[in-house]
Amino acid sequence: MLEPTIVTWVLIAIGLLEFLVLLAGQTMMVLNPQSQKTKDFLIGKGEDWRDRTHVRTALGMAWADLLLFLPLILAGSIGAARGTLWGYALWAASGAISAYISVILWFSEREYVYPQCGPLVYYTIYWGLFLYWGIAVLIYAVLRLQAVLI
C-alpha cells in the first residue's frame, strides 16, 4: 500500500483535466468528425482536414483514446488514489502512452496546430499538457513502485 502524497493528488488533478479535455475532443471526433466545431477544437479555428489520411488518423486516435487510453488514465488514477500497486503500474503505462503520442504529434501536427493557437496555448494545453503530465506520471509512478520493490 502506497499512501497518496501531495504529488499524487496534483498529478491526479492534472490528469483529470487532461482526461476531460481529451474526452471532449475525442467524443466530438467519433460522433461528428466533419463538423466545423470538431475541426475548430482539434486542429484550429477555421481549419479543415488536410486530406483523408489526416481525418482517418484523427478518427483512429479518437477511438483508441476512448477505448484504451482514457480508461487506463481513469483506472490508474483511482488505483493511485487508493494507494495500490496496480494503480501506479497502470498510471505509469498511461504516462508512457501520453508521452509517446506527444512525441509523434510534435512531428506530425506542430506546423499546423501551433500557428493556430500560439505558443502559450500550444505548450500548455494542445501539446504540452500531455507531454509534461505523461513524463511526470511515468517517473513518479516508477519511483513509487521502486520504493516498494526495494
Q: What percent of the chain has pLDDT over 90?
A: 63
Average pLDDT for 16-30: 92
Within 10 angstroms of residue 124's Cβ, the number of other Cβ atoms is: 12
* Rounded-to-integer distance, Cα 106 and Cα 108, Å: 6
Query: Which tens digit of pLDDT belongs to each residue from 31-41?
Result: 999 999 998 88
Beta-carbon contacts of 145 under 8 Å, excluding residues fewer than 6 positions away, are 85, 88, 89, 92
- Higher per-residue pLDDT: 110 or 16: 16
Give the ranges where 6-127 is alpha helix by DSSP (H).
Answer: 6-31, 36-43, 52-64, 70-82, 85-121
How do the domains of the chain map onto residue ranges?
A: 6-149
Query: Which tens digit of pLDDT belongs to each residue from 45-65?
Result: 788 888 899 899 999 999 999
Within 10 angstroms of residue 25's Cβ, the number of other Cβ atoms is: 18
Could you tell me the three cell numbers for 43? 486542429
The residue among 109, 81, 103 whose CA lies nearest residue 25 is: 109
* Rounded-to-integer distance, Cα 111 and Cα 39, Å: 16
